[in-house]
Amino acid sequence: MKLSGWGRYPVHTTALCRPRTPEALQAELADGPVIARGNGRAYGDSAVAQGRTVQMRHFSHMISFDDATGVLVAEAGVLLGDVITAFLSRGWFPPVTPGTKFVTLGGMIAADVHGKNHHKDGSFGSFVDWIELMGPDGVIKRCSPRRNKELFEWTLGGMGLTGVILRAAIRLRPVESAWIRQTTRALPNLEAAIEAFEAADEATYSVAWIDCLSKGDQLGRSLLMLGEHAAGDDLKKSRKKRPFEVPVKSKRTIPFDAPGLALNRFTVRAFNRLYYWNGTRKAGTTLVDWDSYFYPLDAILGWNRIYGRRGFMQFQCALPLETSAEGLKALLEATSAAGAGSFLAVLKRFGAQESRFSFPMAGYTLALDFPVNRTTLQLMERLDAITLAHQGRFYLAKDSRMSAQTLRSSDTRVSDFEAMRAAGGLPARFHSKQSERLSL
């Protein structure tokens, strides 16, 4: 069948197998190289393999939960949204969450995802107590910071290339309500945005929407959104009795592919102006329910179709703190000059992180998305070059087109990853279209 990531680009032909038991999975591994796939939310070709791709959604049992510590043991195919549905009403929330709840726990570990609290809490990997990983020989190993330590560390952010994650123990965080106290600040340009991020170090959550089409004095004008889990006392009287209940919202679905022209520099510019203006008007503190705060796009099912049939690409890089201001400026200037409107442009401060192969590093991360066409493909090459010139690196869960050379120039850890794979006999059992493209 034809399969792609969330960006619907590139599309490859692969056989999708859906094992239901570890034995069936072992049989698949014995037949030659595969890649595990969760819910297909990586944007590019991380979870699509030449030959066979292993769909892990049947491994979706929750196994145990400890009310005292918040430790959940579950199979890798469990969706993050199901974890929230099950445990938020009992006062627990994911410790780290990406921008969609439609991801599997296995996928979150393989990409070592980050959230709006990275500057304070680090990536998802910091909350994983242990994993069970099926290796190239079909043997299942328990890996943790103490046991099979190296394999554990390589698997966080290892993009499924160290084995198939079967189960994990993760630590949820206690919360008092399902609400977030959100403070929005409108910032006229990039300098102001960075200053505001640095001043907001104490906030639990921080993220900025950035207008990537603004120019000159207004380059990088942003809406910074800070968030805290609301305490019971923050809620209105009527809500205090049921702090974990939020109003039910209707879901919208994008029923068909938008024509390729629907998102162009004019419509995006108009949208951005309106959005920024609206943000200035509404600046201040409000209470927002968890779903609207963390997952605004999940309310529009199939939103990836607004980019039309040819699909779209994400660009996400991280820049070290020292080069961030200059590097971000250059990235935004290049984007603005190309007039390639990115509908979703997100800026975020990362905290320090030491890891074998994960994406985050102390500094700033910028995420942009573009419809697939010749102009944007050229623009992304330029953005790659700017990132390299500022010692930045790239997020593999978003990548669909980078070259092996670019990856190697960005990250000295790549050769260690390759050596680890070779030593373990992993390339013969685990590969993806991405790992082939990037020679991992």
Partner 1 sequence: MSKGAVLILGATSDIGLAVAHRFAGLGHPVQLAARDAAGLEATRTDMALRHNVEVTTHAFDALALESHAGFIDALPELPRIAVCAVGLMGEQSENEADMERAVRVMRSNYEGPASIFGHLANRFAARGSGALVGISSVAGLRGRATNYIYGSAKAGFTAYLSGLRNRLAGEGVHVLTVLPGFVATRMTEDLELPEKLTAEPEEVADAIEAALRKGRNIIYVRKIWWGIMTIICNIPERIFKGMKI
Which of the residues 317 through 376 are near partner 1 (CB under 8 A)? none
Cα distance between residue 258 and residue 306, in whole Å: 5
Q: Which amino acid is at 352?
A: A
Residue 253 or 378 with smaller CB distance to partner 1: 253
User: In 10 A of CB 261, how many CB atoms?
Assistant: 10
Q: Does 309 bind partner 1 (CB under 8 A)?
A: no
- Closest CB to partner 1 among 78 and 113? 78
Q: What binding mask, one character per residue, do residues 182-221 give for partner 1 by CB under 8 A, x or -?
A: ----------------------------------------
As measured in angstroms, the least distance from the Cβ of 379 to partner 1 is: 34
**Residue 33 and residue 431: Cα distance in Å, rounded?**
6
Token pair 């670019």 is found at 406
- Enumerate the H helices of 236-289 as residue ranges: 237-240, 265-282
Burial class of residue 68 in the structure, from the number of CB atoms within 10 Å of its CB (0-12 exposed, 13-18 middle, 19+ buried): exposed
CB of 109 to partner 1, least distance (A): 19
* Long-range CB pairs of 415-424, under 8 A, 24+ apart, other chains included: 416/356, 417/154, 417/158, 417/161, 417/356, 417/357, 420/150, 420/154, 420/162, 421/161, 421/162, 424/135, 424/136, 424/162
Closer to partner 1 at the Cβ: 86 or 200?
A: 86
Pick between residue 86 and residue 192 the one whose CB is nearest to partner 1.
Answer: 86
Task: Tell me how far apart the terminal alpha carbons of the chain are, to the nearest angstrom.
Answer: 25
Residue type, position 18, single letter:
R
Q: Which of 98, 51, 157, 165 is nearest to 314 (CA)?
A: 98
- Min. distance of Cβ 201 from partner 1 in angstroms? 37
Residues 23 to 62: which contact partner 1 by CB under 8 A?
Answer: 60-62
Nearest Cα neighbor of 49 from 108, 5, 85 is 5
Q: For partner 1, give the closer residue by CB, 250 or 412.
A: 250
Largest CA distance in the chain: 61
Q: How far is the CB of 75 from partner 1 (least distance, A)?
A: 9
81 versus 157: smaller Cβ distance to partner 1? 81
Considering the complex, state which of residue 86 and residue 385 has its C-beta at the smaller distance from partner 1: 86
Q: Of these, 15, 18, 231, 278, which contacts partner 1 (CB under 8 A)? A: 18
Helix (H) or strand (E) holding 29: helix 22-30
The DSSP 8-state label assigned to residue 37 in this structure reads E
Q: Provide, rounded to whole angstroms, the least separation between the CB of residue 63 and partner 1.
A: 6
Closest separation in Å from C-beta 16 to partner 1: 10
CB of 255 vs partner 1, minimal distance in Å: 12
Beta partners for residue 5, in sequence order? none
Nearest distance from C-beta of residue 60 to partner 1, angstroms? 8
Residue carrying the six token digits 């070779």: 422
Nearer to partner 1, 11 or 86 (CB): 86
Within 57-139, residue ranges assigned H as helices are 80-87, 105-110, 118-121
Length, in residues, of the chain: 440
20, 149, 215, 309: which one contacts partner 1 (CB under 8 A)? 20
Q: Contact at 8 Å (CB) between 56 and 76? A: yes
Q: Shortest distance, CB of residue 425 to partner 1, whole angstroms?
A: 30
* Residue 134 Cβ vs partner 1, minimum distance, rounded to whole Å: 17
Segment 126-165, which members bind partner 1 (CB under 8 A)? none
Binding mask 58-87 for partner 1 (x = CB under 8 A): --xxxxxx----------------x--xx-
Size of the site for partner 1 (CB under 8 A): 13
Q: What span, in angstroms and rounded, lies between the C-alpha atoms of 217 and 129?
A: 47
CB closer to partner 1 out of 94 and 99 = 94
CB of 86 to partner 1, least distance (A): 4
* Token pair for 245: 């209940």
For partner 1, which is the closer residue by CB, 85 or 405?
85
**Contact status, residue 228 vs residue 203, Cβ threshold 8 Å:** yes
Instruction: Closer to partner 1 by CB, 63 or 261: give it.
Output: 63
Sign of CA dihedral 320, 322, 323, 326: positive
Instruction: Report helix, strand or coil for 164.
Output: strand
State the residues that interact with partner 1 by CB under 8 A. Answer: 18, 20, 60-65, 82, 85-86, 89-90
